[in-house]
Structure 1
Amino acid sequence: MIQNIPVYDICSLSDIRQDDLLVSRFAPYLDSHKKLFFPHKHSFYHLVLFTEGSGSHTIDFESFTVKPGQIYFMIPGQVHSWHFKGFTDGYIINFSEAFIQSFILQPGYLHNFSFFSGSLQDAVIDLPKESFEIVRSILENILIEVVKPAVAGSDMVRLLMLQLFIHINRLNANPDVSIKPTYNQTLLKNYQNLIEQHYADIKLPKDYAELLYITPNHLNAVCKDLVGLSAGELIRNRTLLEAKRMLVNPGLSISEIALKLNFSDNSYFTKFFKKAEGINPEEFRKQALKH
């Protein structure tokens, strides 16, 4: 059993660090990084297209079946592990936000893509056959640019990656919906961004509503209308996710986790966790670290 959950950066996964980017066929990458079968975090963005293989992979404690034609995306901080059966291959790209941002003037450009939102229902995609061939061709061209560097090679890689992102983003886009988000959609996104920044120290929807210059009732109505959850549930769900991420680190005690998440005491944290998960934090930890 691992003693501390590792957090990998691109440099730690490659002998050569080029512009905050790592591109590889998946089989040799997997063969070189056996420890990635255990739960771990990334400090970078990460995508994999499977072309062969079976088994499962887990992102933030939700398990997905591996299948050829599946692509998944991850953002920094998510907890991940693999459990493959037999030979598995495909393509992998690890990259920093700076790698793309240096090419795009629009701040936070990656956040425009739903598969980089952290929502798992958008992050794991089974590609239709035609799209699979398109995406595979793009990834093959990216690999060629990395293996055989040419003039402006990094910029060509960026262009190809943007082509891939835009193609996949269009798969689920509703042509009847305006490209420009509505006021309520923007409001929800701003609320989610605030939760991401403050879930540990701001616990009440009314305090977020004040930051957004709206009433708590308005905030709650927007959340229920767009995602089917109350404003309070979104805060609790994010707190619960971070608790799970911390619990797979055996180096942190339950009391330390409760303190980091600003619970008044250990028993209150345990009660919160058990109400949401049906088991206490220690039981969750044992299950998550069992291999």
Structure 2
Amino acid sequence: MKELFPFYTIGHFINEPTNRTEFEIMRFDEMGEPEVDDIHKHTFYEILWTEKGISKQTIDYKEYEVLPNSLFFISPNQVHQFEEWKPLKGGTILFTEDFFLLNHSNKDKLFELSFLDNFYANPCIQLDKRNFADIKQTIDLITIEQKRADKSQTITQSLLHILLAQVQRCIDTETEKPVSKKYLILFKQFKNLLDKHFAENKTTTFFAQQLHITAHHLNLITKDITGKTASEVIRSRSILEAKRLLTFTDKTVSEIAFELNYTDSSYFAKTFKAETNLSPMSFKTEMSEKYRTRNV
């Protein structure tokens, strides 16, 4: 399926598109406005920290208000709405999967972090003053390291791991029932498979077989992580792509239904309305006016 949105590397966000850097940290007041399209996808992870001020971020049609003493996470493949720069105090950390996993062969280390690569969790985390101060101290250490003439990639990566572990601890402390790491890893493996096969109308059994578990086990995992069955997660991913196609292309409802392997357009329309409470055409009209006209 043709990609609808531009994919940007970290280099694009420092206005050096050919720069293959895998880690950057910048304060808002020191940043130039990146020359990127308002609506885009990242090839990297981004953590925004806000000390003062309020901003708004949009990820896949969901709008979030980012308040002081908060962190906001953007993961690869999420459709991010670029907001105008506001008078904020804080900054952004950008890093690739390869940078995080440098000298670590086990990719599950990244999957164990519940707040990354999770389209079902709130990407904005509000912290109390003490926890934010602890996290900010680690951010300051990263900034100091990056400004050294002899800066070390190994030290920066270690500090990044400490920062992310601090965030995970804050989340776990506030959660009554922390998510099982094993379930989290399997769910993210399922999500990665779903991102590759969502247009093929595959069943829960297909994905369970790919993960070498039973369909029942996969349902237990998705219910624990998202509150939804695996079939509901599969349908939601398909409808998300339908939303994107309705908003950002001129394809008809029938063409979109065919592209996403629905048996017929009427069944697609019924499924879409059950998921969104809007008909495909009503959604297209509303969202095209909201997103396409303001970005012409």
Give the alignment's TM-score, normalised by structure 2.
0.80
In the alignment, structure 1 residue 80 sits paired with structure 2 residue 80? yes
TM superposition shift of 1:185: 6.1
Residue 167 of structure 2 aligns with which residue? 168
Extract unaligned runs of 5+ from structure 1. Answer: none
TM superposition shift of 1:229: 1.6
In structure 2, relative to structure 1, the CA distance for the partners of 1:112 and 1:155 (3 Å cut) is: same
Contact between 1:113 and 1:169, CA under 8 Å: does it hold in 2?
yes
Contact between 1:5 and 1:250, CA under 8 Å: does it hold in 2?
no
Contact between 2:13 and 2:36, CA under 8 Å: does it hold in 1?
no
Deviates more, 1:223-232 or 1:155-164: 223-232
Contact between 1:71 and 1:124, CA under 8 Å: does it hold in 2?
yes
Q: Name the amino acid aligned to 1:275.
A: A
Any idea what the Cα deviations from partners look like across 1:83-117, whole Å, max 9, x if unmatched?
46841231211111111212323224211101113
Give the alignment's TM-score, normalised by structure 1.
0.81
Q: Name the amino acid aligned to 2:53.
A: G
Any idea what the Cα deviations from partners look like across 1:187-226, whole Å, max 9, x if unmatched?
5555444333322224322333444555545544554455
Any idea what the Cα deviations from partners look like across 1:57-82, whole Å, max 9, x if unmatched?
11222111121111011111101124
TM superposition shift of 1:263: 3.2
Deviates more, 1:158-167 or 1:17-26: 17-26
Any idea what the Cα deviations from partners look like across 1:13-35, whole Å, max 9, x if unmatched?
22553641222112333x42275
d(CA) in 1 for partners of 2:149, 2:241: 40
In structure 2, relative to structure 1, the CA distance for the partners of 1:99 and 1:33 (3 Å cut) is: same
In the alignment, structure 1 residue 282 sits paired with structure 2 residue 284? yes
In the alignment, structure 1 residue 118 sits paired with structure 2 residue 121? no
Count of residues in correspondence between the two structures: 284
TM superposition shift of 1:118: 2.2
In structure 2, relative to structure 1, the CA distance for the partners of 1:270 and 1:86 (3 Å cut) is: same
Root mean square deviation of aligned Cα: 3.2
Q: Identity rate of aligned residues, in percent?
A: 28
Residue 28 of structure 1 aligns with which residue? 30
Taking CA–CA contacts closer than 8 Å with sequence separation of 6 or more, which of the two structures ends up with the larger relative contact order? Answer: 1
In structure 2, relative to structure 1, the CA distance for the partners of 1:115 and 1:185 (3 Å cut) is: closer
Deviates more, 1:104-113 or 1:57-66: 104-113
In structure 2, relative to structure 1, the CA distance for the partners of 1:173 and 1:200 (3 Å cut) is: same
In structure 2, relative to structure 1, the CA distance for the partners of 1:241 and 1:32 (3 Å cut) is: same
In structure 2, relative to structure 1, the CA distance for the partners of 1:77 and 1:194 (3 Å cut) is: closer
Residue 148 of structure 2 aligns with which residue? 148
In structure 2, relative to structure 1, the CA distance for the partners of 1:140 and 1:247 (3 Å cut) is: farther
In structure 2, relative to structure 1, the CA distance for the partners of 1:225 and 1:140 (3 Å cut) is: closer
Q: Secondary structure at the match of 1:87?
A: coil
